[in-house]
Structure 1
Amino acid sequence: MTDDLILWGVGTSRTIRAHWALHELGLPYQSRPILPRSGETKTAEYTALNPRQKIPLLQDGDLTIGESAAIVAYLASKHRTPDGGLVPSCPKLYAKWLEWCFFIVTELDSTSLYVMRRHGTNKGLAHIYGEAPQVVTQAAEYFRGQLRHVDVALTDGRQYLMGNQFTTADILLTTCLTWAIEYGVGICDSAVPYLERVTSREGYRTGERANLAQI
Structure 2
Amino acid sequence: MLKLYGFSKVNAGARGHTRDLRVLWALEELQLPFETVGLDHPAQDLTTDAYRDINPFQQIPSIDDDGVVLTESAAIVVYLAKKSGRLIPADPAGEAQVLRWCFAAMNSIELPLVALMVHDWTANGSDPKPRQFLADWVHLRMGHLERWFADREYVATDDFTIADLLMAHVLHSGVKDASLIAPYPGVQAYRDRCLARPAWRRTFEAYCARVEAG
Do the two structures share a fold, i.e. TM-score over 0.5? yes
1:40 positional shift: 1.6
Are positions 1:148 and 2:153 aligned together? no
Are positions 1:209 and 2:205 aligned together? yes
**Stretches of 4+ aligned residues off by more than 4 angstroms:** 35-38, 130-133
In structure 1, the residue matched to 2:117 is: 117
Distance 1:181 1:117, change over 3 A: closer
In structure 1, the residue matched to 2:97 is: 96
TM-score (norm: length of structure 1): 0.83
1:51 positional shift: 2.2
1:35 positional shift: 5.0
| 8 Å Cα contact 1:58/1:71 also seen in 2 | yes
In structure 2, the residue matched to 1:74 is: 79
The amino acid of 1:176's aligned partner reads V
Q: Which runs of 5+ in 2 are unaligned?
A: 8-14
Aligned residue among 171, 190, 195 for 2:191: 195
In structure 2, the residue matched to 1:8 is: 5
1:131 positional shift: 5.2
TM-score (norm: length of structure 2): 0.83
SS at match of 2:64: strand
Q: Which moved more, 1:63-72 or 1:10-19?
A: 10-19
The amino acid of 2:207's aligned partner reads N
SS at match of 1:58: strand
1:150 positional shift: 1.8
Number of equivalences:
199
Distance 1:35 1:70, change over 3 A: farther
Deviations 1:148-203 (A, max 9, x none): 232122110x3211333111111111112123442335221102222222111111
Root-mean-square deviation (Å)? 2.1
**Percent sequence identity over matched residues?**
29
